[in-house]
Amino acid sequence: MAAAAFSFSAALRPCLAPLRRWRALSCPAPRSASGSPRSAASDEATVISGTKLAKEVLKEVQRDVESWISFGNKRPHLTVVLVGDNPASHIYVRNKVKAAAAVGISSEIILKPEDISQEELLDMTLKLNKDPSVSGVLVQLPLPDHIDERTVCNAIAPEKDVDGFHIINIGRLCLDQPSIIPATAAAVWEIIKRTGIQTFGKNVVVAGRSKNVGMPISMLLHTDGEHERPGGDATVTITHRYTPKEQLKIHTQLADIVIVAAGIPKLITTDMVKEGAAVIDVGINHIHDPLTGKTKLVGDVDFEVEYTEQPRLLKLMQTCLEEHHSYCINGLCAFHSELRKPICKCRKLKSPYKVCTGETAL
């Protein structure tokens, strides 16, 4: 999974009323007159603690899960399908299960060998779709080369698609409709709203165009704030691996917000960002540490280097999501947004996208 430290993107569809407007998930924090968070010392960056925000979200999820259960609903259950022996995938899955347990969501891991056939994996997915005890399904990516990831993602029922990768959920996201939003994008959106970063009319650069991270982040930020699924009303520029470094620097120096999700260590440095810009780093990279001889986890942003060009005050806000670990244990962010919807007590709701006209309560 590509980042996000708290930033976790559910599946509790039956008996739920329509999506609450996304912007209501969090209240903007107090701001300075300029609209940008400032540090106490003018020559220092303001660093937002991803760990602190993650703990806030986890507490809210836990409270919402218990509220959901108090209305007579079953405890949410997440099923994770893990194929092969990829060490990183096993770590991610363990973290997901651990986070789920911390907030009261039950979970299970189904381990399958590397040589499982695509047909067998699809059959298993269809059975999980039909299992009423399963609230959400997550097939851990990447999959072995002989399995088509898009086919598998599309086989998961849209209402149980914890990752938000099903073509229907992606399509609804692109059309500003209520949908399950990919976890990393949802986490970035939560960071922006919870820290009070203004997006309306702002210039944003998203470095990275992956379909699971860069694309959904861009969609959330540039879409209309008055639509059914409100967006950020920002002007978004997307860069990628073929964007020349000098062009990337031109774009980032004009940006009010820089979101980095390219998977390239030290891609963004201090000289590439203007004063007062907000920088959100959701890159995740494993590199060799020459000092310890071990592998360490880093992001895409490098503000450790000494800034030696003509002096200027840099008021940068670097958001390291859980110190470059993943906030989005894929699933919890979406579980969270799902549980924050009005709960339908009349039990009339059959579709997650229909409006319940009966009594609702938070």
Q: Is residue 2 part of a domain?
A: no
Q: Is residue 308 part of a domain?
A: yes
* Number of structural domains in the chain: 1
349 burial class (0-12, 13-18, 19+ CB within 10 angstroms)? buried
Q: Is residue 344 part of a domain?
A: no
Q: Model confidence over 263-272: pLDDT tens digits?
A: 898 999 989 9
Q: Is residue 362 part of a domain?
A: no
Q: Model confidence over 326-341: pLDDT tens digits?
A: 333 344 444 555 455 4
* 133 or 28, greater pLDDT: 133
Active-site amino acid positions: 96, 140, 163
* 362 or 2, greater pLDDT: 2
Q: Model confidence over 108-142: pLDDT tens digits?
A: 999 999 999 999 999 999 999 999 999 999 999 99
CA proximity to 262, closest of 280, 289, 288, 250: 280
Q: Model confidence over 301-315: pLDDT tens digits?
A: 887 644 444 334 444
C-alpha pair distances (Å), 21 with each of 24, 67, 226, 235: 6, 20, 10, 21
Token pair, residue 114, equals: 């590397």
Q: Is residue 355 part of a domain?
A: no
Q: Is 236 left (phi over 0), alpha (psi -120 to 50) or beta?
A: beta
Q: Report the CATH number that the domain containing residue 152 is assigned in CATH.
A: 3.40.50.10860
Q: Which domain range does residue 151 map to?
A: 22-337
Report DSSP letters for 272-295, one per residue. GS-TT-EEEE---EEEE-TTTSSE
Q: Is 17 left (phi over 0), alpha (psi -120 to 50) or beta?
A: beta
| Mean pLDDT value of segment 72-79 | 91
Q: Is residue 251 part of a domain?
A: yes
| Cβ neighbours, 10 Å, residue 340 | 20
Report the C-alpha gap between 168 and 165 in whole angstroms: 8
Check: CB of residue 120 under 8 Å from CB of residue 144: no
